[in-house]
Chains A and B, each alone.
Chain A
Amino acid sequence: MGRLASDIGGTFTDLVYFDEASGELKVEKSLTTPKDLTLGVEDTIRLAQVEPEKIDFFVHGGTTVINAITERKGAKTALVTTAGFRDVLEIARGNRPDLYNLNFEKPVPFVPRRLRFEVRERMDAAGNEVEPLTLADLDAVVERCRAENVEAVAIQLLHSYAAPAHEAACAEYLREKLPGVAITASHEITREWREYERANTAVLNAYVQPIVQRYFASLEGSLKGQGLDCPFAAMQSNGGSTSFEWAKAHPITLVESGPSAGVNGAALVGELCGEEDVIYLDIGGTTAKCSVIEGAQVQVTTEYKLEWTRINPGYPVKVPVVDIVEIGTGGGSIAWFDRVGTLKVGPVSAGSDPGPASYGQGGREPTVTDAKLLTGVLDPNYFAGGRITLDVAAAERAMQKVADGLGGTVEEAAVAVLRLADADMINALKLVSIQRGHDPRDFVLVVGGGGGAMHAATLGRELGVREIIIPLYPGYFSAWGMLATEPRRDFVQTALTRADDMTAAGVTELFAGLQAEAEEYFSAQDEVEAGQLNFEFGIDLRYLGQEHSVTVPTALDGLSVGGILHDFHIAHERAYTFRLDDTPVEFVNFRLTATARVPRPEVKPLNGDGRSEAAADKGTRSVHYGEDGRHDARILNRDLLPPGFEAEGPLVVEEPSANIIVHPGQKLRVDELGFLHIS
C-alpha cells in the first residue's frame, strides 16, 4: 500500500508517492492549472503511474484559500455583531504602522457597512448574560441577505470566546432561515479574546467557505473517478491534517497549508537524524521563509496576519498557523540601486515569468539566481537536471548594471548581490532564533526548496548552527512533508485568572474540557481510532499588568500551580532577560494540541548499488565562495554519492532540483538515508 501527497503551488503541482512495501519514493511535477486546479492533480497522478487501488492515504495542500483572499474572489459576505459594534470590522485597531505616511490607507474590510448587521444581546467578560438575545432582530437580517444575494454570513458577538451561547443560537437560526448560505460563528473557529481579530477571522472563513466547498467536492469527485478509495485529508496551517469534511466548514485553517507542510517535513528530518532543535529555511522565487522547531515540536501561533508588512497592518487570522517569518528575498529577487546609489536586493522579483535573466525568457534584470550562475555555483548545462540551459551571456549583461554602479567587475557584482541577499536572510533567521531567545549553536539548519540548498552552507556558517542538513528531494519538500502529516487540531481557550485564584484542580478541569472537545472532534475523523490520540498542553501566562504572554508547556501528571509558575519565570527570563518574582502572575490562555498517531512512512536506508565516489565525480569548476574567495571546487553528482561518503569543501553537490555548495573548511557527509550533512 502507499501514501500519496499532492501539493499545489503557484507554478507547479507536486506529487510525492511513498510505497510502503518497498520504501520507494516517487516524485512528479506538472504545471499548475489555475482554471481548474483538480486537472493538475489528475495529471501528476497519471504521470506518476500510481495504481489507485494501492493508495490508502491521500493528503492535499494548496493555495485555493489564500488565492481567493489575495485576489478578492471570495463569496459575498455579511456580518452580524452585538448591537453597537458593527463598525468594529472597519475601525479595526486604528493603527498606522507606516507612521510617517500622512496619506495612509487602512486595509479595506471584507464586508461593506451595509452588510454589517447588529443584534441586541450582551455578555460580559466573565461569561454572564448582561442582556438577553433578541433573535427577532435577525429576521430583518435574513430579509436583507436574501435581497442582496448574500452567500456567506459571519457572526461575532462580544465575549463569545467565553460564552458562545448567543452566537450559537444566532448561527442555528440563520442556518435554518438561510439554507445554502455558509454560516460561520466566530467561536467555531477560535475561542480567543479580541473582538476585531475574531470578527475578521470569522469573516474570512465565511468569505472562502463556498469556494472551498465547491473545490473539495470537485476534487473528491475527481479522485474517486480515478479509482482512489481511501481517506482524503487536507493539509492545515498548523502542521497537521484534517478531513475534507471538516476543512469545508473551517477553510480558513488551510490558509498556509503549503509552508506548514514544509515545516512539518523539517521536523521529520530532525526526527530521522536524531535532532530535536531545528531551524528550517525555504527559499522560493520571491520570498524566503523560516521557522523554528524546538524539542521536536513545530511552533504554532495564533498571531498570524494576512497581507501584513512593516507598513501594512494586514488582516489578523486567529487560527493556529506554523510560526513562519517571511522576507522578500528569493532566487528571483532583483538587484537594483536606490536614488543615492545604494545597492539593494528585492523585494521586487522576476518571478517565474520572465524569470532571472539567465533563463533566457526575456528577463533583463540581475537576480540572485544570475549571481549564483556567475559565481560558478550553478552549472549552465546542468540546471534542472540539464532540462534548461542557462544563458551566461544574458546573466552577464544584466549583472553589468550592478558592476557599473559599484565600479567593479561582473564577478564582484555577483558576489555583492549574494552577500546582500544572504544578509537579509540571516536577519530573518535571527528573528526566529536569537531574537526569540534561542542559541543557534544548539540547532541544526534544515533547508527545503531548491533555493534553500544553494544558500544553506553560507547561512548556516554565519548563523553558527551545529550542522546543516539537506534532505532528499529538496525541490519537493512541501509534498514530502505532507506525507508525514498527522491529523491534528489545536484548541485554545481564554480564561483569565490570577495565579492566587488558580488551583491544580482548576487547571486540570479546564484541560479536561478541551480534551473532551478534542475527543469528540477526532471521533468524527474516519481514519483515526480512539486510543491513538496524543495531547500536548500549554498555558499562556504573564505578569499582572503585562499584555503579552509567554506559553509554558505543561503536563497533567503531577501538575501544580507552583510548578507552572516556576517554569513561567524561567521562560520569561529566557525570552526577555528578566524575571519578576514578586509580581503576581495571570493565567491567560489554555492550549491543547491534539494529534492522532497514524502510521507514518518509514524512510528506508539508501540503496548503495551503483553509487560510488568515482561515479559521482564530475571534475572541478571554479566557484566564487563570497568572503572565502574563488576556489577550484570539486563537483559531485548527488544521485550517485554512496551512503557514508565524506569529503571536505570546496565542493558543489549537484542534483536535478538543487545545487548545494560546501565552503572551504566545511565537511560534507552523506548519511545512510541519503541526507547531506554539512558541518
Chain B
Amino acid sequence: MSEAAKEIDPVTLEIVRGKLLAAVDEMGIVIARTSMSPVIYEVLDFACGILDTKAQLIVQTNGITLFTGTFSFQLRAILKKFGGEMRPGDVYMINDPYEGGTHTCDMALIRPLFDGGELRAFAIAVAHWSEVGGSVAGSIAPNATEIYQEGIRFPGVRVCRDDELVADIIDLIRENVRLPTMCLGDLNAELAAVRIAEVRFQEIEQKYGNHTVDRTFDYILETSEQLSREAVAAMPDGTYKAEDLIDGDGISDEQIPVCVEVRINGERMTFDFTGTSAQRPGPINCAYGALHSAVKTVFKSLVDPQGASNEGWFRPVEIICPDGTVFTAQKPSPTGWYYEGSAHASELVWKALAEIAPDRFSAGSYMSLCGAYVYGKDPKSGEIFVHIEPAVGGWGATSKRDGTAALIATTDGDTYNYSVELFEAKFPLHIRQYALNTAEGVGEGRYRGGFGAVREFEILADEASTYASFGRTKEPPWGLQGGAEGSCNFMEIESGGETRRVARIPYHALKQGDRVRVITGGGGGYGDAFARPAQEVLEDVRNDYITPQTARDKYGVALTADGAVDAAATQSLRAGR
C-alpha cells in the first residue's frame, strides 16, 4: 500500500484520482472539438496534462505518444524563467525543442493553477499547429539545416496576464505565420483547455481540500512506480542490444547508424544510446525531450499499456545518451522531422526487447508516418491550402497472429486518417485510390506481417507543391524468429508521363493532373513461412492478399487449377527446401 493510502482513506484517493483524469480528458475533448488544424482534430496531434509544483506529471491524456515525456522538461524551463512572478490568470507558451520540446510546430501552453493565493499545480496543453512560419508552408522543410528555417520559436513567453491575451505576442504570431486565423484558432482551443482544467481543479480542491489533493498526487505516483518496478523485476536481468539504420536525414541519402543497449538490473532499466551517430545537418535530429518520449512510450507498453500515464511509471528508467547525437541534437540543429528520428529510438528499444516480451511486441513495422505536404492556392477560393497527414501502414506479425494492416505508427495513436469525402470537399485534390498495398507485400512467416496502404492524389489546382520525408525506404521492417523482412515505404510522383520514386524530398513543383502516391510498407513476419498452414495461405490467395506465385515461392504451397490446396505438391515443395 502506498504511503499516502496509510494517511487518507484509499477510496477517497481513488475518487480524486478519477476526477483528475476526467479533468484532463475534458481538456482533450475541448481541444479536439475546437481547434482549426486538421492535424489536431483528425490526427489528434496533441496532449494535455496536470503537473504538480515540482513539475512532476500527475495525469495526462494523449492523442499520440510523442508527448509522453516532454511536459516536465517544458514546465521546468518555464519555472526557471518565471518561477517567482506567476499569478492567477497567467498563461505561458513554449515551443522550443531545446527546452524539452519536439519541433517548433508543437505549441505548449502552461497555466499555473492557483487556489486562493497559493500556487497548487499546472495545466499544460500541447498541440501541433499547421503553420508556424519558416522557409516552407507547414514549417518543416525536409532540407532545413538550421532551426531558424523552421518558423517562429517561443523560448517561453507569457501569452496571457489576468486572462487577457498579451497583444504583442498575438501580433508577433499574426505577422510570422502563413495561416494566422488557423494558428490563433488553435491558440484559442488550447487556452480553453487549460482554462477548463483550472475550473475543474478548483472544484476538486474545494470539495476535498488541498491536503487530500496533495496526497492523491503522491498516491498516483507511488502506486504507478510500484507497478512499474514489479514489472521490471519480473523481466530477466541482462543486456539487450539492437542496431538500426535511419534512411537519410533530408540533406543526404546516407544511412545513419543508431543503436541501443538496454540493461535490466533488478528493478532498474537503463537505456544507453551511446554509439549512436552524431547529429546530422538535416532535420531528422531530435532533442532530449523527444528521446525521452520515444523510450518512455515503449517502456510504458512493456510494463502496463493501459494504465494512465504519469511520472511514477518512469522512475525506474534511466536514459543515457551523450550530447550531440542524432537523438540529443544541440542548438541550432533543425528538428522539424524529429519524429522520423525518434521513431527509430522507439523501434530500437522495441527490437532489443522483442524476444523477451513476445506478448507485448510484434516484429518490425512500417514505422514512418510518411508525412507528405501538399500545398498551393485553391482556384475556387483563392486562398492558400496546406495539406499534411500521417499515413497508415503495415505492422509486424506477433507470436500469435498476423500483423495488423493499415494502422497508424507508434509515434501517433488515436490518430484518424482523413476521410476521402471530407478531403475532396476541402482541398483542390482528388483521391484516385485508397487501398491495401498488396503489390509490395509483407514479411512472410508462420504469421505474416500486416499490409501497408496506397493513397493516390491527383492535383486539381493549377499549381501546387509538395515536400515529404519518408523513413524505412531502404531498411525494411525486421522479422522475428525467422520471419521475413517486410517491405519499404516510398512516394511516387507521376508527372508528364514520367514516374519518380522519392523518399525525403524538399520542395517539388506540381501541376494540374500530376499524381502523388504515398505507399507504405508491410510489416515483418514471425516464424518460418513454411510452417504456415496451407489453408491459411489459401485464404490469403482467395482474398487477393497474395498471388498463387507468392504462395508457391514464399510459403511452399501449391494450388490446383480450381483454386484448392494441392496437398501432394505442397508437401514436396516444403520438403524440398
List chain A positions with a Cβ less than 8 A from chain B: 84-88, 90-106, 112-114, 124-125, 130, 158-159, 161, 193-197, 311, 339-344, 406, 416, 419-420, 423-424, 427, 430-431, 435, 496, 543-548, 572, 575-578, 580, 583
Contacts and interface: CB of A to CB of B under 8 A. Distances in A.
B192 A420 contact: no
Nearest to B191: A578
B1 interface: yes
Contacts of B11: 343, 406, 416, 419-420
Contact of B424 (A103, A124, A577): A124
Nearest to B354: A102
B300 A100 contact: yes
Contacts of B435: 84-87, 91
Contacts of A130: 430
B30 A101 contact: no
A91 B405 contact: yes
A575 B34 CA distance: 10
A576 B38 contact: no
Contacts of B360: 102-103
A406 B10 CA distance: 8
B33 A106 contact: no
Given A103-B362, A543-B36, A576-B33, A340 B419 contact: no
A546 B42 CA distance: 10
Contact of B192 (A125, A435, A578): A578
Interface of B: 1-2, 5, 9-12, 14-15, 18-19, 22, 26, 29-30, 32-38, 41-42, 62, 64-65, 181-182, 185, 188-189, 191-192, 195-196, 223, 226-227, 230, 297-298, 300-301, 305-306, 309, 350, 359-362, 392, 395, 398, 401, 404-408, 410, 412-417, 419-422, 424-425, 430, 432-436, 453, 456, 542-545
A195 B30 contact: no
A427 B21 CA distance: 10
Nearest to A422: B15
A84 B11 CA distance: 54
Given A87-B435, A547-B41, A342 B195 contact: no
A125 B223 contact: no
B14 A342 contact: yes
Given A113-B544, A576-B192, A546 B410 contact: no
A337 to B, nearest CB: 10
Contact of B15 (A105, A420, A430, A496): A420
Contacts of B420: 85, 88, 158, 195
A343 B14 contact: yes
A344 B17 CA distance: 12
Contacts of B15: 419-420, 423
A428 B18 CA distance: 11
A85 B415 contact: no
B196 A577 contact: yes
A342 B10 contact: yes
Nearest to A579: B188
Contact of A94 (B401, B406, B425): B406
Given A86-B435, A104-B407, A94 B227 contact: no
A583 B186 CA distance: 13
Contact of B305 (A100, A124, A196, A424): A100
A196 B434 CA distance: 11
B2 A340 contact: yes
A102 B14 CA distance: 28
A340 B223 contact: yes
B429 to A, nearest CB: 11
A272 to B, nearest CB: 33
A311 B301 CA distance: 13
B434 A543 contact: no
14 contacts: A84-B435, A85-B433, A95-B414, A96-B408, A96-B415, A99-B64, A99-B414, A100-B301, A102-B410, A342-B14, A427-B18, A545-B37, A547-B42, A548-B33
B436 A195 contact: no
A98 B305 contact: yes
B406 A580 contact: no
Interface core residue of A98, A572, A577 (most chain B CB under 10 Å) = A577
Contacts of B300: 100
Contacts of A430: 22
Contact of A90 (B1, B406, B422): B406
A420 B192 CA distance: 30
Contact of B408 (A94, A125, A577): A94
Nearest to B390: A94
A84 B425 contact: no
B422 A193 contact: yes
Contacts of A104: 395, 404, 407
A210 to B, nearest CB: 23
B36 A90 contact: no
Given A90-B405, A102-B298, 10 more contacts: A91-B392, A91-B434, A99-B412, A124-B430, A125-B424, A406-B9, A423-B18, A427-B18, A431-B22, A577-B196
A128 to B, nearest CB: 11
Nearest to B398: A103
A161 to B, nearest CB: 7
Nearest to B297: A100
B425 A193 contact: yes
Given A427-B22, A545-B181, A194 B14 contact: no
A155 to B, nearest CB: 15
Contact of B62 (A84, A99, A339): A99
A94 B407 contact: yes
A194 B420 CA distance: 7
Contacts of B30: 576-577
Given A195-B420, A340-B227, A103 B361 contact: yes
A424 B11 CA distance: 12
A113 B192 contact: no
Given A101-B301, A103-B398, A343-B14, A435 B26 contact: yes
A98 B41 CA distance: 18
A580 B361 contact: no
A347 to B, nearest CB: 12
A104 B365 CA distance: 12
Contacts of A496: 425
B306 A311 contact: yes
The 8 closest A-B pairs by CB, nearest first: A99-B413, A94-B392, A545-B36, A84-B433, A125-B425, A113-B543, A547-B41, A91-B406
Contacts of A87: 406, 434-436, 453
Contact of A580 (B188, B414, B416): B188
Nearest to A415: B11
B472 to A, nearest CB: 16
B398 to A, nearest CB: 6
A61 B398 CA distance: 43
Nearest to B30: A576
Contact of A100 (B195, B306, B415): B306
B417 to A, nearest CB: 5
A130 B37 CA distance: 29
Nearest to A424: B18
Contacts of B41: 546-548
B421 A194 contact: yes
Nearest to B427: A125
A577 B405 CA distance: 40
A93 B435 CA distance: 12
